[in-house]
Amino acid sequence: MDEEYDVIVLGTGLTECILSGLLSVDGKKVLHMDRNDYYGGDSASLNLTQLYRKFRPNQTPPADLGRDRDYAVDLIPKFIIASGELTKILVHTDVTRYLEFKQIAGSFVYRDGRISKVPSTELEAVKSPLMGLFEKRRAKKFFEFLQGWRDEDPVTHQGNAFVNSGINLDTDSMKAVYEKFGLEPGTQDFIGHAMALYLDDDYIDKPARPTYDRIVLYTSSMARYGKSPYIYPLYGLGELPQSFARLSAIYGGTYMLDKKIDEIITDADGKFVGVRSGTETVKAKQVIGDPSYFGAGAEVGDGGRLRVIEEKRVIRAICILKHPIPGTDGSDSVQIVIPQNQVNRRNGEYLDLQHTLIPDLELDIYIAMVSSTHNVCAKDVYVAIVSTIVETSKPELEIQPGLQLLGSIYEKFVTVSPLYMPLSTGEADNIFITRSYDATSHFETVVDDVKDVWGRVTGKDLVLKQRNPEEAEQQE
């Protein structure tokens, strides 16, 4: 290990693997290490043996769950939004040749005590119980306005006859836009939470532009394949980091798994020198890694230096079911958004064991479910993950409204994970730390982090290059 590298990458989560792949293609000499003997870190997908080893170390997986090798259970619940940035990276780097994707069958929202499909076509909208007759007309005008919007064409800013003055997406609040179209609070709720995918209502008083962008991302993704805005890789999300690791390896990246990282070595000025594993030391100009390699969770960071802080915590309950989620038309895969407004505790129906009222919560609960259609579990098994950002000291009670929608739960594995963020940009010490996987339902923030770290590591913007044309030719 006495070679010197351009970049050492620690952890084989998706963020690190995309960076490792892109840096290798860019000609950097990369060493990629992981303390685990499998790829994927926090974004791995586990087989039954690995899953039970992690959550039930003293228990063997029950025989009626079927074959170990049929399972690839994700640790974080995310889907790929079809027209999003991750799709662009997958296509441009050509790692799609290692992967197969299927659609997620449905996108649902919880409203007035039941699950309803988020309407995606006019026909679905007409039948949707989410809106009354007049509200449907108003919503139609609203979507036509969004669809017709052109920054350079003021005529499109007028919206329609209901709107007297032009809308400015950059200065008008989203609240003002909703009001101009006269949309009811319930409609605002499903647009903001199930389509723009905001976790709370803070967006309403902010300029409308980001919300507009999010709704357009949702509807264009929806239009791309039809059933839902999401796609999903066969054999689980863990395939994604593996495919980028292969990209890196093909471009000369060196892989070392099952390698304990004992120390991040810095010089007198605190600048990165190398990493130590046992008695071996390997040097590089820069290091990139996930927070767990830089003191996350430790009392003080590595070498007494605090490099990452806990921002929030997320609770995720991986639930194994023997049936599809009730009320979803037997869908083989779904996302269900439960806007917090729909389940708030104002009536006091949720009491904890000491019969104290749980305070009102603000953040939405998500359910993501996949099944054997996606080659992640045995036939007739369904894997749902219920998650939310933790707001109280009793996180499991916070996801109760989500768990209740699942019907009987065969097995449940609950984690409460801190979300870490780096304290510095890394430009001063050449130590670049990625962020934990957040509570959003897709990978857009992961790609934001990739671009951000790329910019700081290389000093330039990320421009996606096509791979070697000779290989493209080989592929026909």
Counting runs of H as helices and runs of E as strands, what totals does the chain give?
Answer: 14, 19
162 touching other proteins, by CB under 8 A: no
Structure tokens at 284: 């590089």
* Residue of 18, 76, 237, 245 interacting with other proteins (CB under 8 A): 245
Three-class SS of residue 424? coil
C-alpha dihedral (81, 82, 88, 91), degrees to nearest 10: 130
Contact segment (CB under 8 A) with other proteins among 235-243, 307-315, 353-361, 420-428 equals 235-243
DSSP letters along 67-118, please?
-GGG--EESS--BEETTSHHHHHHHHHTGGGG--EEE--EEEEEETTEEEEP
Question: Quick one: 69 or 114, whose CB is closer to other proteins?
Answer: 69
Q: Are 304 and 391 in contact (CB under 8 A)?
A: no
* Residue of 225, 378, 414, 423 interacting with other proteins (CB under 8 A): 225
Total residues interacting with other proteins, rule: CB under 8 A: 62
Return the bridge partners of 320, or none: 383, 411
Contact segment (CB under 8 A) with other proteins among 254-262, 281-289, 313-321, 329-337 equals 254-262
Question: Quick one: 30 or 76, whose CB is closer to other proteins?
Answer: 30
158 touching other proteins, by CB under 8 A: no
Contacts of 341 (CB under 8 A, 6+ apart): 185, 189, 201
Three-class SS of residue 320? strand
* Residue of 167, 174, 222, 315 interacting with other proteins (CB under 8 A): 222
Question: Quick one: 143 or 350, whose CB is closer to other proteins?
Answer: 143
111 touching other proteins, by CB under 8 A: no
204 touching other proteins, by CB under 8 A: no
Three-class SS of residue 420? strand
* Residue of 49, 206, 223, 466 interacting with other proteins (CB under 8 A): 223
87 touching other proteins, by CB under 8 A: yes
Amino acid identity, position 415: T
Smallest gap from Cβ 476 to other proteins, in A, equals 7
* Residue of 110, 255, 293, 443 interacting with other proteins (CB under 8 A): 255
Please report how many Cα atoms fall inside a 13 Å half-sphere around the Cα of residue 324, on the Cβ side: 15
Contact segment (CB under 8 A) with other proteins among 138-146, 312-320, 388-396, 399-407 equals 138-146
* Residue of 3, 56, 60, 256 interacting with other proteins (CB under 8 A): 256
120 touching other proteins, by CB under 8 A: yes
Please report how many Cα atoms fall inside a 13 Å half-sphere around the Cα of residue 30, on the Cβ side: 33
Smallest gap from Cβ 472 to other proteins, in A, equals 10
Cα separation, 151 vs 48, whole angstroms: 51
Cα separation, 426 vs 456, whole angstroms: 7
* Residue of 49, 59, 91, 448 interacting with other proteins (CB under 8 A): 91
Return the bridge partners of 30, or none: 7
169 touching other proteins, by CB under 8 A: no
* Residue of 35, 70, 98, 455 interacting with other proteins (CB under 8 A): 98
* Residue of 243, 292, 387, 436 interacting with other proteins (CB under 8 A): 243
CB atoms within 10 A of CB 269: 7
Task: Note the helical H segments in 149-305.
Answer: 174-180, 185-190, 209-225, 239-250
378 touching other proteins, by CB under 8 A: no
Smallest gap from Cβ 5 to other proteins, in A, equals 14
**Residues interacting with other proteins, by CB under 8 A?**
38-39, 82-83, 87, 90-91, 96-103, 119-122, 125, 136, 139-140, 142-144, 147-148, 195, 215-216, 218-220, 222-225, 231, 234-235, 239, 242-243, 245-246, 249-258, 468, 470-471, 474-476
